[in-house]
Amino acid sequence: MNILPAVLQNGISSTARHICKLPRERNAFSHIQRNPTDQKLSSRTYSRWNQPNDPDDCDKRATNHVRAKYKHLIKVLKEDAEKREMLKIKKGKERSEKAKEGKKSSLLLRKLRGKGTKQVKQGRIADRNIIFVAGLGSIGMGASREILKKGPKNLLIFGRSTKPKAMEELRRINKKSNIKFYKYDVTLPLKASKELLYKVFEEYKKIDLLINGAGLLDEHKIAETVDVNFKGTVNTTTAIMDFWDKRRGGPGGVIANLCSASAFNPIYQLPVYSASKAAVLSFTISLAKLAPLTGVTAFSFNPGITQNPLRNKCNSWLNVEPCVGKLLLIHPTQTTKQTGKSLVEVLEANRNGVIWKVDQGRLEAVKWLGQRYWDSGI
Amino acid sequence: MNILPAVLQNGISSTARHICKLPRERNAFSHIQRNPTDQKLSSRTYSRWNQPNDPDDCDKRATNHVRAKYKHLIKVLKEDAEKREMLKIKKGKERSEKAKEGKKSSLLLRKLRGKGTKQVKQGRIADRNIIFVAGLGSIGMGASREILKKGPKNLLIFGRSTKPKAMEELRRINKKSNIKFYKYDVTLPLKASKELLYKVFEEYKKIDLLINGAGLLDEHKIAETVDVNFKGTVNTTTAIMDFWDKRRGGPGGVIANLCSASAFNPIYQLPVYSASKAAVLSFTISLAKLAPLTGVTAFSFNPGITQNPLRNKCNSWLNVEPCVGKLLLIHPTQTTKQTGKSLVEVLEANRNGVIWKVDQGRLEAVKWLGQRYWDSGI
């Protein structure tokens, strides 16, 4: 098929649809189809060149114009055709490569299937296996207490330092649930996260829920704040996809990311902390949109200021507000218990993509309007 | 002054205002003052306890209630009083420490003042000294070309790798402007940024504008994306505050952060990139709010998808969309020249806190509604 005349005659959208029979390609052009101006672009362009004051070479100029305008499209279509040919040849080779890549997780999944583990409805706490990445500071501790009251099968705390006293207290809350501590530093590279998760999946076979709750609030530690709050969440999430991603035969899962209300509107005295939380919020929005592909749903939980004696010691960026910790505490909005209870509520609700806010003890789903500012269209 | 009866009698706001004579403390309680319900809280609480069905110990209970409720306030006020005492004693000691801290930049600033450099209106390009942190890829190159047309005095390119050809091309555009390349890796610790800036400030005495434009788009490099896009911007900004911050006697300055329209609404196939840009946007909002204190203004520049052949090669997160680079290019929105011209326009406009968006060649200021979701109140 000759692309150029077809584009000139029918417009780009219908030509593209006609050429691309495969679902992925159809999807690739769907945004063009959605844009109503594009369909008539060629005729409009043609009539523009066909003005009475310039009648001589309008045909030639229109052709050149369209050729230049859709040069990239023609190139992409050609490349795709070539790629499909190459794919047929390399199919066998690719298969073996893929097998190598997914070796570890596939082995594990095969074991799981062999033992007859069936996929159950995700997200409820009772009798589930939960990983909670948390420092067991006041919010992490408050949340753990509330989670345990709902009776999870296994609650695996991933933390930087062992806290025997806190663990002892948690064990007393619910003696039927198994609570175990794993030493885990979210600031280490992705590989370390994968290694730990491999051990955990080997032991527990199935993990239903991952709660990313590690957080740092100290603007004198810029690199560490970014690493713990943002990179840590991304690393743990990326690592668990090896075991959960349904494209690799995984059973799917649920991710709850603990952000902060400062992700919506920064506490400007704490710009790095707020920005890192804005990043996690954005990341979670993406994760939720990817759920149909990966089988892994995600939502974010954004508490307002929670009463926490540790806050008192936190530093502001360049000391712009030496009393920032006190100012945060001076107007307490909610207790760690309230925050914990709200977290349990949203874990039980398990709604993909919801941006939860709990401020002054009130829990609500935020209608986020990011798309009104811009949409990539892909 | 006995705080508790005063709180009971007058309400928290008026008591706080009365106690706190210093401007900073007054500011600390301003959010309480703003909250109209607080002022009458004590009387309302009192009347609630004074119900006929419970007349016996209402006084005692009300006192206890208020004591518990405002425990944190009383503690803070006491601590503040103590702190003020301590401050008086330690004043001399602190001064010497401060001098040590600000030694390098103070020395430099003294030199500057000695040479009679006067503070001029910031932000215009002509005859200014500009630092542009950029890889001189297509967007960085397009922007540099447009900036040079406006005739800056010195354009200092901070880049990871030397690009003699690109530099040669830039030098040809405007022979009057001095263009110099500095090897700079934004992923290195804050200390490295400070060291380089010290050299630069020593040579040029005054820098008017910092453009943070280093960016990476490759979701197979998670750690590097976070480090270049987010941590790098924070590091360079934090480093330059040593020389610009008016609290340390600096002359102030202007920061332009190149983010992305994906900061508003993530391209979900590129979750880490989008999240890192959302972080830089949030950080810039904070910087702008801190301008009255630091003397450093800031705004963000968020381009939509810009035609860039490099895009073709970018990877999506976990390969969720193997053709993401092509999809980004298939619907080109603007050229690097358009993006560069828009950047020059916003640099000339120099409006603190404005969130600029340039999509499909159209430049506009975005009205960001983060505060409708939440406000810390401090």
Phi and psi at B217, nearest 5°, equal -130, 90
DSSP A120-158: ------TT-EEEEE---SHHHHHHHHHHHHT--SEEEEE
**Cβ distance of B190 and A223 shorter than 8 Å:** yes
The tens digit of pLDDT for each residue in A326-337 reads: 888 877 789 999
Least-confidence region, from A320-324, B66-70, B174-178: B66-70
pLDDT of residue A4: 46
Residue from the list B241, B305, B326 with its beta carbon closest to the beta carbon of A76: B326
Mean pLDDT calculated for residue range A143-154: 96
Mean pLDDT calculated for residue range B220-226: 97
pLDDT of residue B13: 47
The tens digit of pLDDT for each residue in A176-186 reads: 999 999 999 99
Distances (CA, A) of A97 to A22, A90, A94, A129: 24, 11, 5, 32
Which residues are CB-contacts of B40 (< 8 A; sequence separation ≥ 6)? B11
Which is more confident, B96 or B359? Answer: B359
Which is more confident, A126 or B32? Answer: A126
Least-confidence region, from A114-123, A233-242, B204-213, B225-234: A114-123
The tens digit of pLDDT for each residue in A120-139 reads: 444 479 999 999 999 988 89
Give the integer Cα–Cα distance in Å for B54 and B354.
57
Interchain CB contact of B378 with A (< 8 Å):
yes
Q: Does pLDDT of A198 surpass 50?
A: yes
**Cβ distance of A330 and B29 shorter than 8 Å:** yes
Q: Does pLDDT of B85 surpass 60?
A: yes
Mean pLDDT calculated for residue range B57-76: 59
Which residues are CB-contacts of A333 (< 8 A; sequence separation ≥ 6)? A304, A305, A306, A307, A359, A360, A361
Task: Quote the mean pLDDT of chain B.
Answer: 81
**Cβ distance of A357 and B374 shorter than 8 Å:** yes
- Cβ proximity of A203 and A211 under 8 Å: no
CA atoms within 13 A on the CB side of B21: 2
Least-confidence region, from A17-21, A366-370, B354-358: A17-21
Q: Which CATH superfamily is domain B121-366 in?
A: NAD(P)-binding Rossmann-like Domain (3.40.50.720)
Q: Does pLDDT of A263 surpass 50?
A: yes
Least-confidence region, from A221-230, B69-78, B361-370: B69-78
Residue from the list A31, A278, A327 with its beta carbon closest to the beta carbon of B278: A278
B184, B198, B268, B273: which is the annotated catalytic residue? B273
Contacts of A371 in chain B (CB under 8 A): 264-265
Report the percentage of chain A scoring pLDDT > 70.
69
Block residue for tokens 């080779």: A93
Determine the residue of chain A that is closest to B302 in CA distance.
A374
Whether B184 sits among the annotated catalytic residues: the reply is no
ipTM, two decimals: 0.73
pLDDT of residue A368: 93
Q: Does pLDDT of A238 surpass 60?
A: yes
The tens digit of pLDDT for each residue in B253-305 reads: 999 999 999 999 999 999 999 999 999 999 999 999 999 999 999 999 999 99
The partner residues of A243 in beta bridges, in order of sequence, read: none
Interchain CB contact of B136 with A (< 8 Å):
no
Q: Which of B241, B270, B331 to mutate to test the interface with A (most CBs of A within 10 A)?
A: B331
Q: Provide the residue ranges of all domains of chain B, joining segments of one domain with +.
A: 3-101, 121-366
| 3-state secondary structure labels for all residues of B120-171 | CCCCCCCCCEEEEECCCCHHHHHHHHHHHHCCCCEEEEEECCCCHHHHHHHH
Q: Does pLDDT of A358 surpass 70?
A: yes
- Under DSSP, the state recorded for B306 is B
Interchain CB contact of B314 with A (< 8 Å):
no
CATH number of A120-367: 3.40.50.720
How many C-beta atoms lie closer than 10 Å to residue A362's C-beta? Answer: 12
Contacts of B304 in chain A (CB under 8 A): 374, 376
Mean pLDDT calculated for residue range A359-364: 95
Contacts of B268 in chain A (CB under 8 A): 285-287, 289-290
Q: Which amino acid does the sequence have at B96?
A: S
Which is more confident, A14 or A99? Answer: A99
